[in-house]
């Protein structure tokens, strides 16, 4: 099995439906509207996806639930050969952005991660764009206060249609000053203009960013500046950006000089795993072990981790 690094994984979004249903039944509630007749998460488009996602988090009530989730997610990732993963963590769902509560959730997540030694984990604290700039500020304060060995990054997910990047500048500056690596979701539901807007926040990486392909001058700028794309091909296909992986722009972006990496985003929502992503790319583009090694070297170089961890990762991908 090829060893893998993953840079773009939402912790709550990695909760299998059965895990969420199990918690619901322990709590004496039902969340039937979130699931289809096969028991998979139900959504037709991006906004419904966000609603289902937020509905599922309602049973992730305390640090103990997040500890169980972390362990389950890391064990699943490790079974696909993932040796290093960065997970988006959301103070919004971990104590409602209260800094004291956040510290308790985070301690539980970090302790659970330490119990899965096959995989090295780091956290990217994430604000949710459609919750607005004031919530983002509070989230950034949570991030800044807990920045360190485990929390190494700052990001923003959610509805790209909400506001301008500049509205979130304070939160991004706060996180940057705390020493956190910066990534932003853009160019997924928004077009190239959303990527140009996001670049004002000076990220070293972009979540998705794939719709940059619609503006080749922008693609060249990403290549020149070395901005790394966290590409999640099967997420993009499931959410209807592209009909299939063969039509996905990842190879065109790569061949024009953009640094691309591969991740799963929210695997049970999109019916994916890291194995499926690699298999789909091998099938669509004929990518070989050499291609995947190069991809993983880019991930290791772009990872929000300390130099010793990076050096160890790079040794794995000679």
Which spans of this chain sit near ligand HPA (rule: CB under 6 A)?
A: 10, 13, 53, 157-158, 185, 188, 235, 265-266
- As given in the structure block, the two tokens for residue 249 are 């722009």
CB of 316 to ligand HPA, least distance (A): 27
Q: Which is nearer to ligand HPA, 188 or 197 (CB)?
A: 188
d(CA 222, CA 186): 13
Residues 6 or more apart whose CB falls under 8 angstroms from that of 4 comprise: 80, 81, 82, 83, 274, 278, 292, 296
CB of 9 to Zn ion, least distance (A): 8
* 92 forms part of the interface with Zn ion (CB under 5 A): no
User: Do residues 264 and 240 make contact, with C-beta atoms less than 8 angstroms apart?
Assistant: no
Catalytic residue among 12, 65, 86, 188: 188
Of residues 186-225, which lie at the interface with Zn ion (CB under 5 A)? 207
Strand arrangement of the beta sheet that strand 181-186 belongs to: 4-10, 82-89, 120-128, 151-157, 181-186, 205-208, 228-231, 259-262
Q: What single DSSP character describes residue 205?
A: E
Query: Residue 158 touches which of Zn ion, ligand HPA, none (CB < 5 to 8 A by kind)?
Result: ligand HPA
CB of 90 to ligand HPA, least distance (A): 9
Q: What single DSSP character describes residue 165?
A: G
Q: Which residue is nearest to ligand HPA (CB)?
A: 157
CB of 193 to ligand HPA, least distance (A): 17
Residue pointed to by tokens 């050499």? 290
Query: Residue 209 touches which of Zn ion, ligand HPA, none (CB < 5 to 8 A by kind)?
Result: none
Q: Which of 65, 120, 265, 277 binds Zn ion (CB under 5 A)?
A: 265
Which residues bind to Zn ion, rule: CB under 5 A?
A: 207, 265
């Amino acid at each position: 099995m090829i060893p893998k690094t993953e840079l773009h994984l939402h912790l709550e979004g990695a909760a299998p439906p059965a895990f969420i249903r199990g918690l619901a039944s322990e709590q004496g509630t039902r969340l039937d509207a979130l699931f289809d007749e096969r028991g998979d998460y139900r959504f037709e488009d991006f906004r419904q996806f966000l609603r289902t996602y937020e509905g599922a988090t309602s049973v992730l009530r305390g640090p103990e639930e997040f500890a169980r989730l972390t362990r389950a997610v890391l064990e699943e990732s490790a079974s696909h050969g993932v040796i290093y993963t960065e997970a988006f963590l959301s103070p919004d769902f971990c104590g409602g952005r209260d800094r004291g509560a956040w510290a308790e959730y985070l301690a539980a997540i970090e302790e659970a991660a330490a119990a899965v030694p096959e995989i090295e984990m780091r956290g990217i604290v994430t604000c949710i764009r459609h919750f607005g700039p004031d919530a983002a500020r509070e989230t950034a304060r949570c991030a800044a206060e807990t920045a360190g060995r485990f929390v190494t990054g700052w990001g923003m997910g959610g509805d790209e249609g909400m506001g301008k990047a500049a509205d979130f500048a304070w939160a991004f500056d706060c996180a940057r000053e705390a020493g956190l690596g910066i990534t932003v979701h853009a160019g997924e539901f928004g077009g190239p203009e959303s990527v140009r807007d996001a670049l004002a926040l000076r990220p070293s990486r972009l979540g998705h960013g794939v719709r940059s392909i619609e503006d080749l001058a922008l693609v060249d700028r990403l290549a020149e500046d070395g901005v790394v794309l966290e590409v999640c091909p099967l997420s993009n296909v499931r959410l209807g950006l592209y009909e299939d992986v063969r039509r996905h722009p990842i190879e065109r972006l790569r061949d024009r000089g953009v640094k691309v990496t591969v991740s799963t985003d929210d695997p049970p929502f999109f019916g994916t795993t890291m194995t499926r992503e690699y298999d789909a790319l091998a099938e669509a583009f004929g990518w070989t072990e050499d291609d995947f090694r190069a991809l993983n070297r880019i991930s290791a170089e772009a990872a929000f981790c300390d130099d010793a961890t990076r050096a160890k990762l790079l040794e794995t991908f000679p």
